[in-house]
A and B are shown apart, each in its own frame.
Chain A
Amino acid sequence: MSEQGFWNQEWMEIQQKYWQNWSDFSRQALGGKAVPKSPWENAMEHWWQVVSPAAPDMTRDFMDKMMNQGKALFHMADEFSRNFQENGAATEWNDVMSKTFADMKQGFMGMPEAGGDDALHKMMAFWEMPLDNWQRMVSSLSLMPGDMLCNMPHGGHLERFLSAPGLGYTREEQGQQQQMMLKVLEYQQALQDYMQFFSNLGVLAVDRMQTRVGEIVADGKQIDSARQLYDTWVGVCEEAYGEQVMTPEYAKIHGRLVNALMGVKHEMAVMVDESLGAMNMPTRTELRTLQTRMQENRREIKGLKAEIAELKAALASQVAAKPKAAPRKKAAVKKKAAAKR
């Protein structure tokens, strides 16, 4: 690898092969011959598996992002290109386009029907980014990797069971655990609403994309590269997102999601504190109280220090002013003393 760098001959051959596949496909567009799905992606992944162990964490994370976006970019172009190549000659372009957009919408509604492969789902993965960001953030606030709360059991009659009062000697503990589970359920519901919002938003974005493509046609222009298609899609998504997240409905969904997560974490903190208290160890609540009191003391001390400094400065200036007047007074005293004598 070191002699050839990361860009080696093998990789070039894979690219060439891919190009060849496409060219063959292009020639036999109506021949019905199956074309291998996403050889580019496979080759890319193979290459990355070889290279990535040598890369430092930051670089690997960074490259992962570019790889994933590259996949989204070319999956989309792939999907559109295939649909147009396979059906374009036989039907009107707007029929083909409608079918492609209908497939995309189905992808958002959780019903991928992309001929049994997951190409459409991967293309849609682009839309999972806000959710992915959320889950990364939740993971960073937790000891456990990922958003473990979203996989906890829920649904059915669980809520009713959890509302039943605790019994016997451990009723308080039962109540606390029930409260915890209810908070988890609240979080799962809030997360579901959040995901549903994005699913609806995705459908809206597809409609917008269809309109945008119509406008491009009306202007006598054409999208002729994967990058142009991707940029148009990003623009449309951002536009639809920007409008929808400013609605009062989303503000509530967003608020509920954050509050529900905090509700769970708060219950956890209460339980942890109780355990610490039982072990005769300082709890987080106690530490917070100490921190607050300490900060109050520091604030007062700093204020007093500033006052002392001001007083010292004032005193110093008074002392500095005194020596000039002093000799006269002494002289006056001497005069008085002399007069008495």
Chain B
Amino acid sequence: MFPIDIRPDKLAEEMADYSRKLGKGVENLLNSEQIDTGVSPKEAVYTEDKFTLYRYTAPEGVKQNSVPLLIIYALVNRPYMTDIQENRSTIKNLLAAGQDVYLIDWGYPDGADNSLTLDDYINGYIDRCVDVIRQRHGLDKINILGICQGGTFSLCYTSLHQEKVKNLVTMVTPVDFKTPDNMLSAWVQHMDVDLLVDTLGNVPGELLNWTFLSLKPFSLTGQKYVNMVDVLDDEDKLKNFLRMEKWIFDSPDQAGETFRQFIKEFYQENGFLNGTVKLGEHLVDLKNISCPVLNIFAEQDHLVPPDASVAPQENSTSASIPLSAR
């Protein structure tokens, strides 16, 4: 028996099918209007520099939790991922579960933001957002949900401002930045981040896109588009694909100094585990975290491998509940 036996008629059929779907796909692509992202209604409650703090509108008839929840998203992508489409929205589900949801949209830093540091983001912007929410609700403490790099920020923040955080949820958050399966970490060890930031100033989103695509280049820049052909004739699926595509390549530039610090202190020095992360004058110690922590991570994540996320329970004194997702 031949191991590869692709009959000519079958091959021709496959080709014709591929071409037919492409042909139909162009029509659907041209008909698809502006790709909308972010489906839940919200209002801006506080703005400063380039960022905006939003509060999502509670659905009617749902009793809200008296303690609001602040979502802190990563700087490297846009936060509308949390509310990307009607049937795929973390925010919608949180609202339906009675959470009073706030979210920080970091916006798009430009050259003038080059000198923003991690201290500015965490002890400045995040702290002021937390204060705004505390004041609005007359509370001492609020709940925080940090996602990816935003989770790392949330850990830093909670460690330094535990008195303002009631519960902390970290989602796909790297803590141990030097696990053996962490590709990003392996790649930046020989990178001269000082030269990079001194040369470029802000780090362009294109450089980050290249890095993320390089994690799985054949699937992410090749196979994905072949798979895409299968859904080209389905308008809804096509729109969902385009939304994801838009999000993937919608990468804001990174404030240079913040990028320098993040790569050096976390990826190169593994600062959480070695206790070397310093924000302004303050040393970050995860052992200062005493509130309950729910740590959610994915079992198959090539960006933040599960082993990188499971560290909080070993490094803080809080009651940590790890929750993995397939």
Contacts and interface: CB of A to CB of B under 8 A. Distances in A.
Interface string A55-96: 110010011011111101110011011001100100001000
A5 B6 contact: no
Interface string B186-212: 111111100110111100101101100
Given A15-B15, A258-B196, A88 B8 contact: no
Given A65-B225, A66-B226, A80 B6 contact: yes
Contacts of B189: 251, 255
Nearest to B280: A299
Interface in A246-263: 246, 250-252, 254-256, 258-259, 262-263
Q: Which of B30, B196, B201, B210 has the most CB of A within 10 A?
A: B210
Contacts of B192: 255, 258-259, 262
A292 B191 CA distance: 24
Interface in A133-165: 133-134, 136-137, 140-141
B190 A77 contact: no
Given A84-B5, A291-B114, A291-B115, A129 B19 contact: no
A270 B145 CA distance: 43
From B19, B181, B186, B213, name the one whose CB has the most chain A CB atoms within 10 angstroms: B19
Given A78-B11, A255-B187, A11 B218 contact: no
B11 A5 contact: no
Contacts of A102: none
A19 B215 CA distance: 38
B124 interface: yes
A6 B29 CA distance: 12
B116 interface: yes
A333 interface: no
B325 interface: no
A258 B191 CA distance: 7
Contacts of B12: 15, 18-19, 22-23, 40
Interface stretch (A111-119, A174-182, A223-231, A322-330): A223-231
Interface residues of A, number: 94
Contacts of A336: none
Contact of A266 (B19, B183, B198, B207): B198
Contacts of B199: 262, 265-266, 269
Contacts of B115: 288, 291-292, 294-296
Contacts of B151: none
Contacts of A19: 9, 12-13, 16
A195 interface: no
Interface string A171-214: 00000000000000000000000000000000000000000011
Nearest to B241: A62
A133 B223 contact: no
Nearest to B131: A306
B217 A241 contact: yes
B314 interface: no
B25 A63 contact: yes
B282 interface: no
Q: Chain A binding site: helix, strand, loop or mixed by DSSP? A: helix
A129 B222 CA distance: 8
B119 to A, nearest CB: 8
Contacts of B218: 126, 129, 234, 237-238, 241
Contacts of A47: 19, 23
B14 A222 contact: no
B244 interface: no
A294 B112 CA distance: 10
Contacts of B23: 5-7, 11, 47
A22 B11 contact: yes
Contacts of A220: 1
Contact of A223 (B3, B183, B195, B209): B3
Contacts of B195: 259, 262-263, 266
Contact of A84 (B2, B213, B214): B2
A254 to B, nearest CB: 5
B235 to A, nearest CB: 14
B223 to A, nearest CB: 5
B229 A231 contact: no
Given A19-B9, A23-B8, A85-B8, A11 B19 contact: yes
A277 interface: no
A137 B112 contact: no
A311 interface: no
A255 B219 contact: no
A278 interface: no
Given A6-B26, A265-B199, A23 B9 contact: yes
Contacts of B20: 7
Contacts of B114: 288, 291
Nearest to B208: A137
Given A258-B191, A262-B195, A226 B222 contact: no
Nearest to A67: B22
B229 A245 contact: no
Contacts of A271: none
Contacts of A5: 23-24, 27
8 contacts: A25-B8, A44-B22, A223-B4, A254-B187, A259-B192, A266-B195, A288-B115, A288-B201
Interface of B: 1-16, 18-20, 22-27, 29-30, 111-112, 114-117, 119-120, 124, 180-181, 183, 186-192, 195-196, 198-201, 204, 206-207, 209-210, 213-214, 216-219, 221-223, 225-226, 228-229, 232, 245
Q: Report the 3 A-B pairs with minimum CB-CB distance, sorted nearest first.
A: A255-B190, A7-B23, A22-B8
Given A47-B23, A295-B120, 4 more contacts: A81-B6, A141-B207, A238-B219, A262-B196
